[in-house]
Structure 1
Amino acid sequence: MAAPLHFLLLLPLPFFSLFLAPAFSSGQKEPKVPALYVFGDSTADVGNNNYLPGNNAKANFPHNGIDFPFSRPTGRFSNGYNGIDFLARHVGFKRSPPPFLSLASNMSHDIMRGVKGTNFASGGSGILDSTGSTNSTISMTKQIQYFSTVRSQLTRRLAIEQIDELFSKSLFIISSGGNDIFAYFSQNRFPNVTERQNFISSLITKYGDHLKELYALGGRKFGIVNVPPLGCCPYPRSLNPTGGCLEMLNELTQEFNGALKVLMNDVSSTLAGMKYSIGSSNAVVMNIVNNPGTLGFQETKTACCGFGKFNGESGCTPNATVCSDRRRYLFWDLLHPTHATAKIFGLAVYSGPEQFASPINFKKLVEDYN
């Protein structure tokens, strides 16, 4: 398990007080970037999977969304907002941009909404095309194809120069990798060093391909969210006879995150004008696990909503057990954080120190228009 980061010691008191602000305080009046374009998995999905025919990886039913405005289940794997929503609020938007598939049915009419951004993320997806079921999730490759469609549609309304300027100043957020690691672990419980290295290498190579495709389509500012400590989620804990974190999963996660850091440095050094920040969901979650009381948490092992050991043996459904004080829980369901956790993540990554976002935080990334 990672060493404590002593979050409160790293941040001034006024910064900590922001964690105690109302859950739905208003965002910035004027967004700091023209638009947000979001790619990734269930950590970023705001409803794309609602429109898919498969029954897996959906959250458009109670108790999901119980703390969302009007207690509405939107398809977010959360009791309220997810981390992308909070990042969007810090940038100046109301919340994450709408899911692409909510616009796709009437693209010619709704495409101009894409000028302010679009969310392409899909629960169950991964960096690799082989991750996730093809009928119940949208692969990262397909998400980028959808973004290309948005660009093509915008060319009917805007000049190429306008589109290039729009995308170059916009923030591209990617939150992916966890499902790939889960899928690999489920088939390789005891991989040797060489096997692990080969897997991480293939994952990072594909990630680099996706980045280059988005760059070719106009992306220049990239907000990357790394993978949290998967082994400490309620589901993996439920598989461990001791109830502790599954260290093999955490080791794979650390290896991936380390390789991702190298990748971003290498890619940004070869692609002119590309800038990035890596937001460490891993550091944020581990800090809460190691120092729960300092940030107002009481339960870091058991999910708020679910069934079985640690409420981690099945997902959050209308018949599941649900906790009453959701602000005290790190995890909402067997794999996903609560609204309270997402709020801390958003603030730490947006304006926190290097332990939580590097080489610069998201605030410096979006405020840099050069």
Structure 2
Amino acid sequence: MQRLYKLGARRVLVTGTGPLGCVPAELAYYSRNGECAEELQLAASLFNPQLVQMIDQLNTGIGHIAFIAANTNQMNMDFISNPQAFGFTTSKIACCGQGPYNGVGLCTPVSNLCPNRDEYVFWDPFHPSERANRLIVQQILTGSNAYMHPMNLNTVMALDSRA
């Protein structure tokens, strides 16, 4: 990341991993009752705090905030833990796919397709739906320190406009 700074980048948003063990693809292969794959979730829970630590070290070394971390794992886990609170009907089944949880293969013309993609957290076996992505972007812009470190994008833009 220091290479980016040396090349002239002054603000870099770095996203953490998503909920690796909770995507429909992993549910299709490892889940019996819709539970997330524990080992992959552990990997994500270890990586994201280390990302924040690295961001802090880089910013300290540079002497100002150039790198910002987005905790996309927590953003997605909020949807997965309580999809109805965000207007979704399911966080287990992909809108487009095949097999259990629509988690097998890619989204193709022969896939199962949901009637309303806005009700699904996941578009395909791996990726959030457009609506989920819009909610994630909203957190990147205005989210608290639980989601953005050391600050959200609106705060960064406000600081930059004063400079």
Which TM-score applies when normalising by structure 2?
A: 0.93
- Counterpart CA distance in 2 for 1:309 and 1:345 is 26
Corresponding residue for 1:201?
none
Corresponding residue for 1:341?
132
Q: Which amino acid aligns with 1:309?
A: P
Matched, 1:297 2:63: no
Corresponding residue for 1:353?
144
Q: How many residues align?
A: 160
Which TM-score applies when normalising by structure 1?
A: 0.42
TM alignment of 1:232-247, pairs within 5 A: 232-242=22-32, 243-247=34-38
CA offset digits 1:21-67 (Å, max 9, x no partner): xxxxxxxxxxxxxxxxxxxxxxxxxxxxxxxxxxxxxxxxxxxxxxx
TM alignment of 1:116-135, pairs within 5 A: none
Q: Among 47, 50, 53, which residue is 1:259 paired with?
A: 50
Q: Report the Cα offset of residue 219 of structure 1.
A: 0.8
In the alignment, structure 1 segments of 5+ residues that lack a partner are: 1-210
- Counterpart CA distance in 2 for 1:278 and 1:252 is 17
**Contact 1:277–1:365 (Cα < 8 Å) also in 2:** no
* Percent sequence identity over aligned pairs: 28
CA offset digits 1:262-297 (Å, max 9, x no partner): 100001111244423211111111111112111101
Corresponding residue for 1:218?
8
CA offset digits 1:98-133 (Å, max 9, x no partner): xxxxxxxxxxxxxxxxxxxxxxxxxxxxxxxxxxxx
Question: Which structure: larger Rg?
Answer: 1
- Counterpart CA distance in 2 for 1:268 and 1:351 is 21
Q: What secondary structure does 2:3 align onto?
A: helix
Measured on the aligned residues, the alpha-carbon RMSD in Å equals 1.2
Matched, 1:285 2:93: no
- Counterpart CA distance in 1 for 2:77 and 2:2 is 31
Which runs of structure 1 show a deviation greater than 3 angstroms over 4 or more consecutive aligned residues?
none
Q: Which amino acid aligns with 1:328?
A: E
Matched, 1:310 2:101: yes
- Counterpart CA distance in 2 for 1:223 and 1:331 is 23
**Contact 1:275–1:365 (Cα < 8 Å) also in 2:** no
Q: Which amino acid aligns with 1:223?
A: L
TM alignment of 1:199-210, pairs within 5 A: none
Higher relative contact order (CA 8 A, sep 6+): 2
- Counterpart CA distance in 2 for 1:253 and 1:276 is 20
Corresponding residue for 2:17?
227
